Structure 1
């Protein structure tokens, strides 16, 4: 976290520490984003909150929260004020989910007493809440909302500015599966049949993110062609680790049960070329295994921040000739995954077994973050569905 003395603190310093126009600071939304005078691609991101009873305030962001130095994430209280503020130097193209933790209890804040990377992060996330002064929010992976902030150069969310979609007759059908698993199928309603099919891992999260409503608007506006989406629930944390991102588990569920069920029960194109699979993190790795083990049943994949540290999958992809296109994505604030994505892509592109199959790599300014994955999945989907298999090569 690159913490700086921001415009709010500088203004208070210029006033000699005297109480300033607090009401004016609270009249704007969080975060305030100003150009960075030292970096044309950067910006100064400032958060201000009113917390008169607080003893500590911390900012958790998916991109830059540093568990090794939690003080860098803590707000400073303005002198003679109930306001707290923090300013970070961040890219102007960043999109990030965040929460603000306000601690008012006796004793140290929990993020100060936790030890280890994951416990510190979870303590800050659990103590935090969505920012009431931020106009944008979405569902979080833990079932609680998070705020979403984007810099002026961040890729535009494709659903912004759309007029509300007319009723399209779309619906979401629950699909019970073997072994207690479940899925949901988004049906676009009135549409030419058959449509392409997208298979998504972590389906419960995509429902939390409002994907069916976003699809309604994008399809109605012509920004996406009509498609069906099969969203497979990954279950609880233990089930997710056991069955997602492995060469079996939910990959077998997709190939052996979900695809046949959807193709026989909904008006989708049964050809593998019209079927895509996508996932994020462990789900991104699962999408790659589905491509590698699918024997042509799935021909395209979008793997966002795939957990490539878990398995070496490149040879399995090269040994399966019956796929057409692969998109690998990762964020600049997840450097290990970004490195793994570029190394995997380079190996695929350099191997003669790839033949003329397309391999695309996309980097975005973000961390390991559903706020970024949501935008870039829909953008990649529009690109994939807008081209024939041959045109993607």
Structure 2
């Protein structure tokens, strides 16, 4: 690992404040408190409360007011952490408001009706130091925020990289995630743990026995321990194969380990792309019936893994024919440099980034143009969300479908 390599993205303040607004539901609660008193009004409120409350915006049918609720009579302060809405450099803006004299904590945002995000709550009590203040650096702060409590009034949830359950807010026009849950009657593939060359742990997904082919394409995933633990990508593959949306395929899911090991493996100045092209794939073809063409190989990653997927394509386009990058860490200088030097004619790329990722969006757009200039067929999507497994888990299915069946032109790639 180069001692000069930067291990954190650029630290940029949110370009504009989060869209905090007043909620009609909370306004109505305060009115009822005045009419009925605190006890009856709040009891009736909680009896019918769901969280978050989703309310329409007059004269703006594509927007909603989203009100998050936390019930706590003892807390002195409550922090709402919403992925990429909360600015980690300005946590005061994400402190929840308390309806005076009640146990009702609330915070409302005005968002597009296609928004999806994970969120959690952290409370501070008398005599305790706020958990979000006991941090020494950016990574420690993120760990504290990710360790918050899920919303007890919201059954919809996901898990982050560490396996912590977070709640999900999902507005009505958010992209459908149809292939996440197991389905009755769908044949299931098998998952086997192996040691790949270099003693790297991998998990091998083998397609259902009902899918019999002489050779199969392969999808290589970084962060395999996440996609077979907190997230369930084998089920997504089963469903996509059963629906005929992707070809039956093998998958290799590479474990990335803890933070330091992950940086050593997936940092742009590492060698995961060379290992993948020159050691992993030849080994996999000796062990399994995986096709020999570059079109048979798709590499998938998120964040650092997204950057590594682009690097594998750019540096080894004769071996890797397709890449799926989600919120890739393209702030690493090696990524755009490798793309600029590449001949990517005949390759396909699916790139997506969250519109709420104010650091990554302006960096992604020139990278996408460079991919096109290098000859790649590119599908580029800016989804209304953040740096978030709640979004990525559905985007994997969307990307695999596009990479398998759609040749996208520059005129149709922005969705």
Report the TM-score, using the length of structure 2 for normalisation: 0.85
What residue is the counterpart of 1:22 in the other structure?
A: 43
What residue is the counterpart of 1:10 in the other structure?
A: 27
The answer as to whether partners of 1:165 and 1:217 remain within 8 angstroms in 2 is no
CA distance in structure 1 between the aligned counterparts of 2:286 and 2:152, rounded to whole angstroms: 46
The answer as to whether partners of 1:96 and 1:149 remain within 8 angstroms in 2 is yes
The answer as to whether partners of 1:68 and 1:117 remain within 8 angstroms in 2 is no
The answer as to whether partners of 2:301 and 2:324 remain within 8 angstroms in 1 is yes
Does 1:76 pair with 2:93? no
With 381-390 and 277-286 compared, the bigger mean Cα shift is at: 381-390
Q: Could you report, residue by residue, the CA deviation over 1:303-349 in whole angstroms, capped at 9, with x for unpaired residues?
A: 11111111243453354335511222211111221111101122343
CA RMSD across the alignment: 2.6
The answer as to whether partners of 1:25 and 1:48 remain within 8 angstroms in 2 is no
SS at the partner of 1:60?
Answer: strand
The answer as to whether partners of 1:203 and 1:231 remain within 8 angstroms in 2 is yes
What residue is the counterpart of 1:140 in the other structure?
A: 160
Task: Report the CA distance shift for 1:163/1:346 in structure 2 as closer, same or farther (over 3 A).
Answer: closer
The answer as to whether partners of 2:350 and 2:403 remain within 8 angstroms in 1 is no
Task: Report the CA distance shift for 1:107/1:324 in structure 2 as closer, same or farther (over 3 A).
Answer: same
The answer as to whether partners of 1:51 and 1:83 remain within 8 angstroms in 2 is yes
CA distance in structure 1 between the aligned counterparts of 2:94 and 2:106, rounded to whole angstroms: 11
CA distance in structure 2 between the aligned counterparts of 1:188 and 1:331, rounded to whole angstroms: 31
Task: Report the CA distance shift for 1:236/1:163 in structure 2 as closer, same or farther (over 3 A).
Answer: closer
Does 1:338 pair with 2:355? no
Superposition map of 1:343-358 within 5 A: 343-349=366-372, 351=373, 354-355=374-375, 357-358=376-377
Task: Report the CA distance shift for 1:346/1:387 in structure 2 as closer, same or farther (over 3 A).
Answer: closer
Does 1:272 pair with 2:294? yes
SS at the partner of 2:226?
Answer: helix
How many Å apart are 1:267 and its aligned residue?
2.8
What residue is the counterpart of 1:252 in the other structure?
A: 274
What residue is the counterpart of 2:3 in the other structure?
A: none
Task: Report the CA distance shift for 1:179/1:262 in structure 2 as closer, same or farther (over 3 A).
Answer: closer
The answer as to whether partners of 1:165 and 1:216 remain within 8 angstroms in 2 is no
What residue is the counterpart of 2:331 in the other structure?
A: 309
Ranges in structure 2 where 5+ consecutive residues have no aligned partner: 1-17
Q: Could you report, residue by residue, the CA deviation over 1:150-190 in whole angstroms, capped at 9, with x for unpaired residues?
A: 11111011226x78242525111112134442111111122
The answer as to whether partners of 1:247 and 1:289 remain within 8 angstroms in 2 is no
SS at the partner of 1:243?
Answer: helix
What residue is the counterpart of 2:212 in the other structure?
A: 192
Ranges in structure 1 where 5+ consecutive residues have no aligned partner: none
What residue is the counterpart of 1:233 in the other structure?
A: 255
Task: Report the CA distance shift for 1:22/1:91 in structure 2 as closer, same or farther (over 3 A).
Answer: farther
CA distance in structure 1 between the aligned counterparts of 2:79 and 2:198, rounded to whole angstroms: 42
CA distance in structure 2 between the aligned counterparts of 1:374 and 1:227, rounded to whole angstroms: 18
2:67 to 46, 49, 58: 46
SS at the partner of 1:231?
Answer: strand
Task: Report the CA distance shift for 1:316/1:120 in structure 2 as closer, same or farther (over 3 A).
Answer: closer
SS at the partner of 1:143?
Answer: coil
The answer as to whether partners of 2:330 and 2:363 remain within 8 angstroms in 1 is yes
Does 1:92 pair with 2:144? no
What residue is the counterpart of 1:172 in the other structure?
A: 191
The answer as to whether partners of 2:21 and 2:109 remain within 8 angstroms in 1 is yes
2:239 to 198, 209, 217: 217
The answer as to whether partners of 2:64 and 2:111 remain within 8 angstroms in 1 is yes
SS at the partner of 1:316?
Answer: helix
Task: Report the CA distance shift for 1:318/1:116 in structure 2 as closer, same or farther (over 3 A).
Answer: closer
The answer as to whether partners of 1:137 and 1:148 remain within 8 angstroms in 2 is yes
CA distance in structure 1 between the aligned counterparts of 2:114 and 2:350, rounded to whole angstroms: 21
The answer as to whether partners of 2:331 and 2:363 remain within 8 angstroms in 1 is yes
1:36 to 57, 67, 70: 57
